[in-house]
A and B are shown apart, each in its own frame.
Chain A
Amino acid sequence: MTTTERFRWVRTKLRRLFRRGQQEAAMDAEMQFHFDQLVAEFRASGLSEAAAHRAALREFGTTDAYREEMRDTWRWPALADLWRDLRFAARSLLRTPGFALLAILTLGLGVGVNTAMFSVVNGVALKPLPYRDADQVDRIYRRTSAEPTGALSVPDYREFRAAASSIYSEIAGFSFGDVSLADEGQPAQFASGMRVSAEFFQLLGLPPVQGRAFQLDETQRGNDAVVILSNRLWQNNFGSRPDILGQQIRIDGRAHTVVGVMPATFNEWRHWGWVDLFRPLAFSTAAESAREQPTVGVIARRAPDIDAATANAFVSNFGERLARDYPELHAESAFYTRTLPDTVTGFDTKITLSMLLGLSGFVVLIACSNLANFLLARTMARSREHAVRAALGASRAQLLRPLLAESLLLALAGSALAVVCAIGASDWLRVRSTGDNGEQVIFALDWSVLGWALLCSLLTAIAFGLAPSLFTLRLDLNNALKSGGRGTTGSRRQNRLRHLLIVGQFALAMVLLTGSAVFVSALSDLNERREGWDSERLVTGTFLLPEARYDTPDAITAFQDRALERLRALPGVNQAAFSTHPPFFSWSETRRFIVDRQERPAPGREPAAVVNVTTPDYLATVQTPLLSGRDFALTDRADSTPVMLINADLAQVLFGNADPLGQRLAFVADGSPQWIEVVGVVGNVRNSEAEAASIPHQVYLPMAQRPAAYHEIAVRTASGNPDAMVPAIRSIFTELDPDLPIRDLKSADQRIARFNYQVGVLRDMLTAFATLGTALAAIGIFGVITRTMAQRRHEFGVRLALGAQVSDITRLVLGSGVRLALTGAIIGLVGGVGLSKLLAIGFPNMDLARPAVMAFTALGLIGIALLACYLPARRASRIDPVESLRAE
């Protein structure tokens, strides 16, 4: 057949399948025509009308038989049989609704959850970045122990640009900064901003969808009042107005002209985070010469013939040159590159994702082995029926077809449930992982992933449905028939297979449960690890004083004083303060410094500390203990002696047992040192970084001596419910300045939870997997024990009739189940220990050796197994011997 003919053939078949009525009518017309011709011929040969009719009937034959024959040719016999098989299967499944429900549930949950999981992994790690040849783009890092952000100073950036032109065809810089958006008649709003150099979008190969990228002359200070909007901001704030280009919007109190709108694909949390708007990277005169201030992130596109290793060697070389030229700054700097995709899915992400994938794989394995077990048990229960049918001459295909139909039916129902589960799970993940500003870590359910998952579930059901059947069909016909009506419990070999499946399930569930429990408990410890401050009854938030209106230090200080006064006067507020870095969250500003009257260390090897700038009363507000000396006072003003507080660790390192009070420190800078007097020592504060094992050296400076636009609010309330105070606090700021955007005003605990939402998602997913796996394993053992028990009903009846005690029967049933569960659990425990050892490699900062947690979960799982066996055991003990024997 040619292709056209084959196509026509299929079309004919389909038409015959679906247009039966039309077909029949056409056939009748065709035969009627023939019949009429016959009658006419007989009439022509001289017969009467009636006689001709009779003769024609005789000649033509009975139409019914032909019609039936023709219908046969229309039908798709296999399809018709399949339909019959499916109906039969549905009826037979409905006779055992418990089994059907368990199997469908198992399949649906297993596949559904996995689909959601794969969607996440796909969205997070596997989906390529939306840039042109992202593999050719490097991120340039400069890191020191004191400076973890990897940014370059402006002079270093300039030097790099000049030096690297042979390696990199394009080089671009960027930096981040939050801004306030305030337009006439609109409430002021915080927005996350990014400054990018003119080459930035071009380098990534992702230009604005509307308008244009920045021009080189726009990266000059004073010429930089232009802005490119993210798609999200354009939609949310400007209702996707088509005439947005050329409009003015106010950023930090200054009018900016909109010159472009970015495509939605750019706003990828995976890479730059959620950026609302982009401005040109224009440097102040001060920044141009400040080699000690790393502010510029750098990306660069490698020339076509340069590979990643060559580029990395070049960059590292460049760093060594800088270290020779500026030893006081770069002696400890490490310069290196990472390809852009690598910066997104770092080692942490990869190991976390592969762990989640592995665990979800466990869930599927448990689900599949459950299904296999159910189907195996079912096939075995039917072995007698099969034997009889085989003896009566049924072919193997005929025996297998109804089984196949059942598997298919289960798979279809399971798939339907899986779709529901997958949608539900990804919705849950989405809600769970949506940040305050609407940013989402997890994207929508991936339908192509779902398609694959469904295909897999279908194959799983068919494979696991047929494999046990093929296996049992090999059983000895004679044996099955001989065992008579007593019902077979299956051969020893089949029982061994089923027991193996149960043991395997419990082993997997145990690994899943103990691994997750250990990880979750270590995670929450990491999360709870708070030292040197108290988050209870604390309300926090952030605001940014627009430069245009608060352009002098005095204006800033005046606003602070007014705001704090009003806040403290608020009923229900105990203390209030501002700082630049709230506790718990990472501190970003690290400075090196020297000590008065001490020998100066080699340049670049000075001690470093993170800097927090605070108002007086900050310590009392967040409850960081003051160990000696005094807190900042209102008298510490711009014109008074510069003062600072240092934390206990730093005091110990710098001064040992000597009294730190009255000592003077100065930050490393060009020119003569500006000495700052230590007036107090405070307790160590532990923050959220993964490296939180080491507490950084911390110094505090008074805000009045270093006024800046950025403020973190801290308000300690009197009542136990800090969230109730949020509206009152917000209204104070609104009254003071209606155009001031306040962000994240909420209780510290809520904010921390939000900050840790990725950790939270991870924890919830692990918990979900462990629960699901355990539940599936419990369902599995429950199903198998119940079925075994039903098959041994007769035997139990005999035992009871012969005088066995009810407790003997219970013990018999319970014993067999518990033995299996225990064997599995012990194997699983070994696996769980292995998993936690493996995780310890991936998460070196987490304390994953938790024998108590492990023992507890192991006991829990065994308890669940006991319960799952106990229910059928109790039913077994209620067997009425007389009735069960009579039932034969």
Chain B
Amino acid sequence: MEKVRKELLQGTLDLLILKALSTGQLHGWDISKRIAVVSKDRLSLKQGSLYPALHRLEGRGWVEAEWGVSEAGRSAKFYRLTTAGRSQLEEEISHWESFAQAMTSVLNMEAAS
């Protein structure tokens, strides 16, 4: 299984995490799996870098964490979105969409125009 590694764009990691958490509470391993699965392995993150990002988000009050027991029976830290995190997610999504639209427009421009 050869993975296509693509460097994530600056700042998209937070967006990915927030989005992954928008479906419910997850622990770190689940988050990375969820992103890999949904993106069909096209988006891959350096898994260690997930944790500083999670702590940063927790520090900003966008996610909150709680220790619980994983399906495998081990204790794991579960993260979930806060209200602030939810509105942050919406904001980042709309940012991203407008950015993507802009990029698309530029990439689609006619040579002659």
Residues on A lying within 8 angstroms of B by beta carbon are 1-2, 5-6, 8-9, 12-13, 16, 26-27, 29-31, 33-34, 36-38, 45, 59-63, 65-66, 69-70, 72-74
Report A-chain residues with C-beta under 8 Å of the C-beta of B60: 9
Q: Is there an interface contact between A33 and B27, defined as CB atoms closer than 8 Å?
A: yes
- Chain A residues, CB < 8 A from B39: none
User: B16-24, B51-59, B96-104: which lies at the A interface?
Assistant: B51-59
Residues of A within 8 Å of B72, CB to CB, are 37
B47–A16 CB distance below 8 A: no
Name the contact of B52 in the complex, choosing from A8, A29, A70 (C-beta under 8 A). A70
Give the contacting residue for A61; candidates B29, B49, B77; CB below 8 A.
B49
Using known A-B contacts A8-B61, A26-B77, determine if residue A33 contacts B70 with beta carbons closer than 8 Å: yes
Residues of A within 8 A of B76 (CB): 30, 33
Which residues of B come within 8 Å of A, CB atoms? 1, 27-29, 32, 46-52, 55-56, 58-61, 64, 67, 70, 72, 74-77, 82-84
Query: Can you name the residue of chain B whose Cβ is closest to the Cβ of A9?
Result: B61
Extra pairs beyond A26-B77, A66-B51 (10, CB < 8 Å): A5-B82, A6-B61, A9-B59, A12-B61, A29-B77, A33-B27, A33-B76, A61-B49, A70-B55, A72-B52
Which residues of A lie under 8 Å from residue B52 when comparing CB positions? Answer: 66, 69-70, 72-73
Which residues of B sit under 8 angstroms from A74, Cβ to Cβ? 55, 59
Of the residues B32, B61, B67, contact of A1 by C-beta under 8 Å: B61
**Closest chain B residue, CB of each to CB of A57:** B48
Contact B61 A60 (CB under 8 A): no
* B2 CB, nearest partner CB in chain A, Å: 13
Which residues on B sit within 8 Å (CB–CB) of A30?
Answer: 27-28, 51, 76-77
Q: Is B83 in contact with A2, judged by CB distance below 8 angstroms?
A: yes
Task: Tell me the minimal C-beta distance from A30 to chain B in angstroms.
Answer: 5
Q: Of all chain A residues, which has the CB nearest B85?
A: A5
Taking CB atoms, residues of chain B closer than 8 Å to A12 are 58-59, 61
Question: Does B61 lie within 8 Å of A59, measured CB to CB?
Answer: no
Residues of chain A within 8 A of B64, CB atoms compared: 8
Q: How far is the CB of A421 from chain B (nearest CB, A)?
A: 43
Chain B contact residues: helix, strand, loop or mixed:
helix
Contacts of B50 in A (CB 8 A): 34
Do B48 and A16 touch across chains, with their CB atoms under 8 A apart? no
Instruction: Report the bound CA distance from A12 to B64 in whole Å.
Output: 10
Docked-complex contact B29 and A34, CB < 8 angstroms: yes
What residue in chain A is nearest B44 (Cβ atoms)? Answer: A59
Given contacts A5-B83, A34-B28, contact A27 B51 (CB under 8 A): yes
Q: In the assembled complex, how far is the CB of residue B23 from the closest CB belonging to chain A, in whole angstroms?
A: 19
Q: Tell me if A27 and B55 are in contact (CB < 8 A).
A: yes
| Least distance between A17 CB and chain B CB atoms (Å) | 11
B84 and A5: CB pair below 8 A? Answer: yes
- In the A-B complex, the 7 residue pairs with the closest CB atoms: A61-B48, A69-B52, A9-B61, A66-B48, A70-B52, A73-B56, A37-B29
23 contacts between A and B (CB under 8 A): A1-B61, A2-B83, A5-B83, A5-B84, A16-B59, A27-B55, A30-B77, A33-B27, A33-B74, A34-B28, A34-B29, A34-B47, A34-B50, A37-B72, A60-B48, A61-B48, A65-B48, A66-B49, A69-B49, A70-B52, A70-B55, A73-B52, A74-B59
Contacts of B51 in A (CB 8 A): 27, 30-31, 34, 66, 70
Q: Would you give the shortest CB distance from A476 to chain B, in whole angstroms?
A: 41
CA distance A62 to B28 in the complex (A): 17
Which B residue's beta carbon lies closest to that of A13? B59
Q: In the complex, A70→B77 CA distance in Å? A: 15
Q: Is the beta-carbon distance between A60 and B47 smaller than 8 angstroms?
A: yes
